[in-house]
Amino acid sequence: MHTRVDFLYLNEADMIKAGVTDMAACVECMEEMFRILSVGDYKMAGQNGNSHGAMVTFPANPPFPNMPKDGPDRRFMAMPAYLGGKFDIAGMKWYGSNEENREKGLPRSILTVMLNDKNTGAPLALMSANLLSAYRTGAVPGVGAKYLAPKDARMVGVIGPGVMSKTSVASFVCACPGLDTVLVSGRGQASIDSFIAFIKENYPQFKTITVVDSMEAACYGADIVTMGTSSTFGMENYPFIEEKWLKPGMLLSCPACVRVDDEFMANRARKVLEHYALYEAWADEYSYPSFDSLGIIGVRYLDLMRDGKIAREDIVELGDVVSGHAPAREFEGQIVINSVGGMPVEDLAWGHTVYQKARQLGLGVSLNLWDTPFLA
């Protein structure tokens, strides 16, 4: 018997060398992940096997002096999963998050991913995952754009030009090569400047980059609008997009909080989300109306279904569109709303892909867990 267990440690520099920022490859990876998801070859957390993960939060007034105090985005999150198909891998994304990190020059969330052997549970790799998570988050809207955006899309509207919008636009370029114009609406000049610098450096096909002074202006004439704003939970705090601002046939991509008119969403918009069972799990875990607590627009779909305003068949899974089991639109000119919530199977798919490339290139540091376990 071979009892020795080694695993590969990959820092951020290793991950970059292994291609974690290769958005075209990441979009392709997410597309394959959706095909696997659509046939059910996966498991996520919870008794239902579809939970986003498990979260630790803190009280506003901790009863112990060393216990963290609640604050903006202060939490720990574990996101375990198994993904089958060509990936056939188990693992987990783990992170801590605190908005105060920015004052220390750190990202709001600091993430790692562990990959494990599906049979023994032994670790295969521990990897830096901030870039991994950012690129897989951006790649999912790219898969959406490939199947849901107008085929001749040229203009993108960006509302909230942070990291999510950077990676979303990067994926839109892969899906819609005719894009050449960006409209940008943001609250802070630093984030706007950073976004523009990112686009100019990486995507010279954008001949026109225009900063606009409102969300309405960012929507005007856009074939794709992506939401990247941060928001305090509670429906009244979410940015509101009016139907009249949106071009017929356009795609509203929502990896961040957004609100639209319920009547428009129920009766005229195409309602797409990554995976219906994930949103069902959220509805079970959060009190109704769940949208008030989560801000993910696909959760609002399920609230409307509970209210009797839409039926289950009105909600479309992206995997079914990718697999050809559902059309992108019910009629020409229909506006599509694509909800992006995030799943650990996405982290495993891209993490496994980058891990395999790192092994091919001889990257990372091999760490020993044990030669023979002391207690077995």
Q: What is the DSSP string of 309-365?
A: SS-GGGEEEHHHHHTTSS-S-SSTT--EEEE----HHHHHHHHHHHHHHHHHHT-SE
DSSP letter (8 states) at residue 234: S
Average of per-residue pLDDT across 185-210: 95
Both structure tokens of 30: 């997410």
pLDDT at 325 over 90: yes
Q: Which fold has domain 5-132+345-369?
A: ornithine cyclodeaminase, domain 1 (3.30.1780)
pLDDT at 159: 97
Alpha helices in the chain, H assignment, sequence order: 12-17, 23-39, 130-148, 163-175, 189-202, 215-219, 262-267, 276-285, 291-294, 297-306, 318-322, 344-361
Average of per-residue pLDDT across 58-80: 96
pLDDT at 123: 98
Ranges for all domains in the chain classified under CATH 3.30.1780.10: 5-132+345-369
Average of per-residue pLDDT across 233-241: 87
pLDDT at 20: 98
Mean pLDDT value across the chain: 95
pLDDT at 286 over 80: yes
pLDDT at 376: 84
Q: Where does residue 185 rank: exposed (0-12), middle (13-18), buried (19+ CB within 10 A)?
A: buried
pLDDT at 237: 87
Structure pTM? 0.94
pLDDT at 287: 83
- Could you read off the pLDDT of 105-118 as tens digits, one per residue? 999 999 999 999 99
Kindly state which CATH superfamily the domain 139-343 is placed in: NAD(P)-binding Rossmann-like Domain (3.40.50.720)
Average of per-residue pLDDT across 337-347: 97
* pLDDT range class, residue 93, cuts 50, 70, 90: very high
- Nearest Cα to Cα of residue 338 among 136, 147, 79: 147
Q: SS3 for 220?
A: coil
Ranges for all domains in the chain classified under CATH 3.40.50.720: 139-343
Both structure tokens of 124: 């295969």
All residues at 6 or more sequence positions from 367 whose CB lies less than 8 Å from its CB, including other chains: 6, 7, 8, 9, 126
pLDDT at 161 over 90: yes
pLDDT at 46 over 80: yes
pLDDT at 75 over 80: yes
